[in-house]
Structure 1
Amino acid sequence: MEEEWRYVKHDGKERFSYQISSKGRVKSLLTAKATILKTRVNQWGYEVVNLKIDRETKTKQVHRLVAEAFLGIDLAKSQVNHKDGDKLNNLLDNLEWVTPKENIEHANRMKLRDARGHKKLSDREKDAILYLTTLSEITYLTIATAFSVNKRTVSKIASEWRKEKASDTPASKV
C-alpha cells in the first residue's frame, strides 16, 4: 500500500497545519520543512499525538485521525475498530467504524480478553513493554498504566525474558 497523506480534521474541519497518512504517521506543516511527529502510547494502549489546534494542545488518537481523514465520519458508528485487534496497528486497511456493541462483539470474537475479562497483550505490545522495562527512567507502574495492565504483568514479562535469556547462555547449556 502506497502511503497517502490527508489533512487532519478537528470538529469536522480540515486543519492545514497537520497531515495524517494512510499508514498512521502524523506530519506537522507548521515549519518550512514538514516534520513527522513523535507519538506515544496512552494509558489505554492507543497511539496518541499532541497537536496544537486553535492555540491549545490537543491529544488525539492516531487511529481516529486516520479513520476521520480516510473513511469519513460515520454518525451511526462512533468507535474505530482495529480489525486485527492490535491497537498500535493504525494502517488504514486495519481500521473500520463500528458501534460500541460491534466493538465488544469483535473483542470477544478475537479473544482480546481472557476468561476473567482481563486484557490479552499482543506480541507487539509485549515487545514494547519489554523494551520499556530496559529504560531506567520509566517505572513499571508507568508502563502498566500505558498498556492498561497491572504492574505485576509488566514485572512478569520482564522476568520471563530474563529467564529465557539466562537459559540461552552457554554455561546453562551444559
Structure 2
Amino acid sequence: MSETWRAVPGYEGLYEVSDHGRVRSVARKIQQRNGHLLTVQSRAISQHDGGPRNGSHRRTRLFRDGHGRTVWVHRLVLEAFVGPAPEGTECCHNDGNPANNHLINLRWDTRQENALDVVRAGEHHMASKTHCKNGHEFTPENTTYIGPRRWRHCRACNRARTAASRRKRAGASTTKD
C-alpha cells in the first residue's frame, strides 16, 4: 500500500504527515538574518513515547517562527486526512494500540467510546478480573451491570449483603418491642 502525504494544518509548507503516521519536514529555502538563503532538506521528524502518563502515544515537536510545540501524531494524522475534531470528540485508536497511528486505525469519537475501547481490547485492569474480591467467579449468571458506567457486580455478594441487611433489620425490630 502506497503512503500518502498531506500538509500538517497550521504548518503548511513546513511539515507533512502521512496516512501511515509518519511526519516529515518539507524541503524549502529560508531567508537568514544575514540575507543568505538556506536550503532545508526534507527529512523524517523523530517521534517519542508520550511518557509515563500517556504510555505509547507518539508525539513529536514542530517549529514555526522560532517557536516549538509538542503535538500528538495521531491528532496530526486525523486533522490532515479527516479534518478538525468535532465538538466533544477525541482521537481513538481502533485496535487499542496507541503507537499505531495509521489512518485506518484512527477515528474521532467520544471520551466514553475511547474508554470502552480499552475494555473491549481487554486492556482495562478491571475487565481482566475473573473473580470478585470474595472469590466468586464472574460468569454471565453471577454478574450484573449497574449504573451509567455499567460497573460489574457479583450477584452472590449482593445476595449475601441483602440477606445480612434483612437479618440485621429483623433483629433490630424484635429488640425494640
Provide the TM-score with structure 2 as the length reference: 0.59
Paired with 2:14 and 2:109, the residues of 1 have a C-alpha distance of: 28
- Any gaps of 5 or more consecutive residues in structure 2? 29-38, 129-177
Q: Is the 8 A contact 1:85 1:107 kept in 2?
A: yes
Identity fraction in percent: 33
Task: Give the helix-richer structure, 1 or 2.
Answer: 1
Matching residue's letter, 1:99:
T
The answer to whether 1:38 aligns with 2:49 is no
List structure 1 runs of 4+ shifted beyond 6 angstroms: none
1:13-24 aligned at under 5 Å gives the runs 14-24=11-21
TM superposition shift of 1:115:
1.9
Q: CA RMSD in A?
A: 1.9
Q: After the TM superposition, which of the residue ranges 27-36 and 101-110 deviates more from structure 2?
A: 27-36
- Any gaps of 5 or more consecutive residues in structure 1? 118-174
> Deviations 1:34-56 (Å, cap 9, x if unpaired)?
10111111111211111002321
The answer to whether 1:112 aligns with 2:109 is no
The answer to whether 1:83 aligns with 2:98 is no
Q: Is the 8 A contact 2:86 2:108 kept in 1?
A: no
TM superposition shift of 1:105:
1.7
TM superposition shift of 1:2:
1.4
Q: Number of residues paired by the alignment? A: 114
The answer to whether 1:102 aligns with 2:105 is no
Larger relative contact order (Cα-Cα within 8 Å, sequence gap ≥ 6): 1
> Deviations 1:34-93 (Å, cap 9, x if unpaired)?
101111111112111110023211001101100100111232342111101111000010
Paired with 2:66 and 2:15, the residues of 1 have a C-alpha distance of: 14
